[in-house]
Structure 1
Amino acid sequence: MNENENLVIPTVDEVITAKGLKIETSRYIIEQTIDYCMEYMAGNFKPIRRYTDSMIVDAINTLIKEIHNTAMVKGWWDDERNNGELIALMHSELSEGLETLRTNVMSDKIPDFVGIEEELADVVIRVFDMAGDRQYKLAEAILAKMEYNKTRPIKHGKKF
């Protein structure tokens, strides 16, 4: 298999229609795509990173804001909520996900997805909602933790 086969380069349409991206970010993607094409045509292939950290942070923060705003509009934040309650609700979504794996069911709310996909989405939605209310720097923390995990030993010295 050619190492270049899995490299995905966004089209101009994908860049222009991407929701939540700043103009500077869109310009950066277009410039990188053009540079890549010029290098490729010249025979000087060099892989490029499709997304920058700031683009990932922007995308996650956009989701956090949208998810939290929806929860507020739907009344979930009319009263103060404590951390224990919020974390317990995240756990309940994981338990529902486990049950969908045991029963092998499709989602009854979003029919194009299996149950576990819906429940994992619910977990992420609850995490992002809490992060939005508490103003946690979740996007940045995810990237920092991913980098840290690259430095850890295999299985972090544990059996599972």
Structure 2
Amino acid sequence: MDKFQALNELSCEVYQNAVDHGFYDAEHKIAEAAGDDIYTHEILQHLVFGQRIALINSELSEALEADRLGRFAKHVRTVEYALAQNSSFEAAFRAGIKDTVEDEIADALIRILDLCAANNIDIGTHVRLKMEYNSRRPKMHGKKY
């Protein structure tokens, strides 16, 4: 499997975790109330998509705030060790990673991958094609910054 296809597989895994943890329950209730699949209702589809985009933006804003406060992940190896030893992982994560720049960027990426799977977006192909396109563009894509 190539690295781009791996993005699609990760996207599906992220989506399933979100479903398993109830992040799609509200959509299912809306669909039931509408008497149909939510995706047959264009307005509901756009509202749900907009909410997902807003949640991605909120994670990026949290990353900015973490940077402003100087909150960066510390002791990552300690957290990885706790995970490997299956001992106090949650406490180690909260102490060394939670609410840091890296944590919030990971949240944003997870939400992006979730959005892709939920909307049947082949993100692997689109990242590959966009990277190829960008590689052919001029320095700084012709912009000042």
**TM-score of the two chains, using structure 1 as the length reference:** 0.61
- From 10, 18, 22, the equivalent of 1:63 is 10
User: What residue is the counterpart of 1:143 in the other structure?
Assistant: 128
Question: What CA distance in whole angstroms lies between the structure 2 residues aligned with 1:112 and 1:58?
Answer: 28
Shift in Å, 1:155: 1.3
Question: What CA distance in whole angstroms lies between the structure 2 residues aligned with 1:94 and 1:103?
Answer: 14
Structure 2 gaps of 5+ residues are 28-46, 74-92
Question: What CA distance in whole angstroms lies between the structure 2 residues aligned with 1:140 and 1:111?
Answer: 34
Question: What CA distance in whole angstroms lies between the structure 1 residues aligned with 2:99 and 2:51?
Answer: 27
Question: What CA distance in whole angstroms lies between the structure 2 residues aligned with 1:124 and 1:88?
Answer: 13
Question: What CA distance in whole angstroms lies between the structure 2 residues aligned with 1:65 and 1:109?
Answer: 26
Deviations 1:116-149 (A, max 9, x none): 1111101100000010110101111001000000
User: What residue is the counterpart of 1:99 in the other structure?
Assistant: 65
Question: What CA distance in whole angstroms lies between the structure 1 residues aligned with 2:7 and 2:141?
Answer: 27
Structure 1 gaps of 5+ residues are 1-53
Q: Root-mean-square deviation (CA), in Å?
A: 2.0
**Percent of matched pairs sharing the same residue:** 36
Shift in Å, 1:154: 1.1
Question: What CA distance in whole angstroms lies between the structure 2 residues aligned with 1:106 and 1:150?
Answer: 31
Corresponding letter in the other structure for 1:87: I
CA contact (8 A) 2:11 2:113 kept: yes
For 1:82, what is the secondary structure of its paired residue?
A: helix
Shift in Å, 1:57: 2.6
Q: Does 1:109 align with 2:56?
A: no
Whose Rg is larger?
1
For 1:79, what is the secondary structure of its paired residue?
A: helix
User: What residue is the counterpart of 1:78 in the other structure?
Assistant: 25
Corresponding letter in the other structure for 1:117: E
CA contact (8 A) 1:100 1:116 kept: yes
CA contact (8 A) 1:101 1:116 kept: yes
User: What residue is the counterpart of 1:89 in the other structure?
Assistant: 55
Higher relative contact order (CA 8 A, sep 6+): 2
User: What residue is the counterpart of 2:143 in the other structure?
Assistant: 158
**TM-score of the two chains, using structure 2 as the length reference:** 0.67
